[in-house]
Amino acid sequence: MKSMLLPVDQSEHMMSALETAWLFAALFEGTVEGVALRPAFAEIVAPDPIVAVTIPPADWNETEFTRAVRQTFDTFATQHPAAPGRAVRFRWRGGAAIEDSTLGSLARVYDVTVLSRPGNRGARMSALEAALFDSGHPVLMAPPAPPRSIGENVAIHWNASTETARVMLLAMPILRKAKRVTLISVEGHIVPGPSAKDALGYLEANGVTAVDKTVVPRSGRPGEAILAEAKALGADLLVKGAYTQSRLRQMIFGGATSHILSAAELPVFFAH
């Protein structure tokens, strides 16, 4: 994993996203490429024909915005020069600021996109979902507070789903470098498919030694159980297949992905 795309905005949690991207890139002596991510503006919908037009505020100055977010990126890069064992390169992608809808297609030519946890002080959910669903590549979600390490002690949420199989494949370079890997299964929340023992065999065949643990959700909410166990293990990264259930079903009934997106306090490596 050599190329990381980092959309840069003016949210409060941007520094955590920068730190997470830097730590992750250091694992592979990779490059963090920053790009300005435009704020969300109001849309006006015309009924005939149905067209949505984005209208920025009258005082919007894109040149000033791009200059400001690039300064944030460049300042962080200057404060984190390449060092032995952490040969990370920083590069700014030129051109105009991009919108959420553009992020998904741009992310197709990067190994991973790094975004902060969605919320009022972090990334927009629309940006994360664009990268997750439209890029075909994984998303690394940074927690609200900058992590101290990443990828040393990895927890994988195993539920036998297609999404989990895909994210394990994409995370294999991380798993091979990890000192400790644990598969977490939540009782009563596993789809028909291979067992955790089968998953351990798959990992072993790829040079990854792991152990498995099944937990019982006290509240009936699998997301809470996954995060609680990851915390108990001291994990510094969670690997998670995103949206085994549909987004609509998770909005109505809740789901592990939705809870983790709103509550995770550690970096999460997602793929769909």
**The pLDDT of residue 201:** 98
Do residues 119 and 158 share a domain?
Answer: no
Per residue of the chain (272 residues), give pLDDT as tens: 999 999 999 999 999 999 999 999 999 999 999 999 999 876 665 565 655 556 777 778 999 999 999 999 999 999 998 777 678 999 999 888 999 999 999 999 999 999 999 999 999 999 999 999 999 999 999 999 999 999 999 999 999 999 999 999 999 999 999 999 999 999 999 999 999 999 999 999 999 999 999 999 887 789 999 999 999 999 999 999 988 655 444 443 347 898 999 999 999 999 98
With respect to residue 148, please indicate whether it lies within any of the assigned structural domains: no
Domain boundary among 142, 167, 191: 142
**The pLDDT of residue 218:** 82
With respect to residue 38, please indicate whether it lies within any of the assigned structural domains: yes
Do residues 134 and 166 share a domain?
Answer: no
Do residues 121 and 165 share a domain?
Answer: no
With respect to residue 136, please indicate whether it lies within any of the assigned structural domains: yes
Do residues 60 and 175 share a domain?
Answer: no
**The pLDDT of residue 52:** 54
Do residues 22 and 130 share a domain?
Answer: yes
**The pLDDT of residue 110:** 98
Do residues 138 and 14 share a domain?
Answer: yes
Domain that includes residue 173, residue range: 153-271
Domain boundary among 92, 111, 142: 142
With respect to residue 147, please indicate whether it lies within any of the assigned structural domains: no
Do residues 51 and 128 share a domain?
Answer: yes
Do residues 116 and 178 share a domain?
Answer: no
With respect to residue 64, please indicate whether it lies within any of the assigned structural domains: yes
With respect to residue 174, please indicate whether it lies within any of the assigned structural domains: yes
With respect to residue 96, please indicate whether it lies within any of the assigned structural domains: yes
Q: What is the CATH classification number for the domain harbouring 211? A: 3.40.50.620
Do residues 108 and 167 share a domain?
Answer: no
Domain boundary among 107, 142, 177: 142
With respect to residue 116, please indicate whether it lies within any of the assigned structural domains: yes
Do residues 210 and 257 share a domain?
Answer: yes
- Number of compact structural domains in the chain: 2
**The pLDDT of residue 244:** 63
Do residues 136 and 159 share a domain?
Answer: no
Do residues 34 and 81 share a domain?
Answer: yes
Q: Report the C-alpha gap between 90 and 32 in whole angstroms.
A: 5
